[in-house]
Amino acid sequence: MTETEHLAVGDDLLDQALTERRSLVQLCLYAMDRARSAGVVERIEEGLAGIGVTAVRPEGHRFDPAHHEAGGTVPTDDPALDGVVAETEVVGFVDRGRTLRVPIVTVYTARTGE
């Protein structure tokens, strides 16, 4: 086998490994979403973090439609909380800076005078 052929085989193996990694990560997210045990969810999340896939739970941060999806709102009397993420409904994930899934969140909204 020539050096060029050897490099081509190596590139093919790397592409295959990356494709398989993406499939396994997606399978883990699917399993996490359906797990009924908090311990199982925690273990899957730890395993994903070990390979660079981290959970995104933006509670307490300002809602940003570029990085979050609004799933609902909850009223607040505190004007400082208006537009802040109150709760994460569906955990988001990033893979070494690349968004896999944006978190779906509940956002505080200021009560209007009634």
pLDDT of residue 43: 96
Judged on CB neighbours under 10 Å (0-12, 13-18, 19+), 69 is: middle
pLDDT of residue 2: 76
Query: What is the assigned CATH class of domain 52-114?
Result: mainly beta
Per-residue confidence in pLDDT tens, the chain, 114 aa: 777 766 666 788 999 999 999 999 999 999 999 999 999 999 999 999 999 999 999 999 999 999 999 999 999 999 999 999 999 999 999 999 999 999 999 999 999 865
Tell if the pTM clears 0.75, that is, is over it: yes
Residue type, 106: T
pLDDT of residue 112: 80
Q: Where are the domains of the chain?
A: 1-51, 52-114
Distance, CA of 13 to CA of 7 (rounded, Å) = 10
